[in-house]
Amino acid sequence: MGVFSPDYIFPDILAVRPAWLAERGLRGLIVDLDNTIVPWRGDEPTPETITWFEELRGAGIRVVLVSNAGGHRGERMGALLGVPVVAPAKKPMSVGYRKALALLQMPASDVSALGDQIFTDVLGGNRAGVATILVDPVTPREFFLTRLVRLFERRFRP
Ligand SMILES: [Mg+2]
């Protein structure tokens, strides 16, 4: 069950403090979009989320948004938050993680991946060799297939 187990669990992104990451040598961060930094299909990060991205930058932590969603939402969000974007990323496949590590210009050992889903964010991150951080979804509203997946996910939630 190792590949389904996150290294760390937090209630939300704001609880993941930039200093805490920096202390662990995790100077690169791969961040999921939907239901991690905004509600599913949401387009507006909260002021707290924008501040959190600024704090990461201040702590010297480089961020890449890695989302399975296509379209322009990811690009727009990246521009808003001042970070590069890989989308659609095909998580948990390795291609998106390889691109993200190339953008960060860092080895996997210096990077963590943060997201709300075990079968995409945690599985993909673990397979890519980065540290994995699981957060609760921002809202319960989401794609019906994702809701179905969560029924299975429950078995793997610690
Ligand atoms: Mg997500």
pTM of the model: 0.89
Domain boundaries in the chain?
Answer: 2-153
Residue owning tokens 């609880």: 15
- Three-class DSSP category at 33: coil
Cα-to-centroid distance, 6 and ligand 1 (Å) = 14
Convert the pLDDT of each residue in 34-70 to its tens digit: 999 998 878 889 999 999 999 999 999 999 999 999 8
* pLDDT tens per residue, range 71-123: 789 999 999 999 999 999 999 999 999 999 999 999 999 999 999 999 999 99
On the question of pLDDT at 158 being above 90, the answer is no
Residue 97 token pair: 């993680």
CATH of domain 2-153: 3.40.50.1000
Cα-to-chain-centroid distance, residue 144: 20
Q: What per-residue confidence (pLDDT) applies to 141?
A: 64
- Our separate counts of H helices and E strands in the chain read 6, 6
CA–centroid distance, residue 66 to ligand 1 (Å) = 10
Tell me, in angstroms, the distance from the centre of ligand 1 to residue 96's CA.
14
CA of 80 to the centre of ligand 1 (A): 18
Separation of first and last alpha carbons in the chain: 11
Q: How far apart are CA 46 and CA 37, in angstroms?
A: 9
Collapsing DSSP to helix, strand or coil, 115 comes out as: strand
pLDDT of residue 1: 54
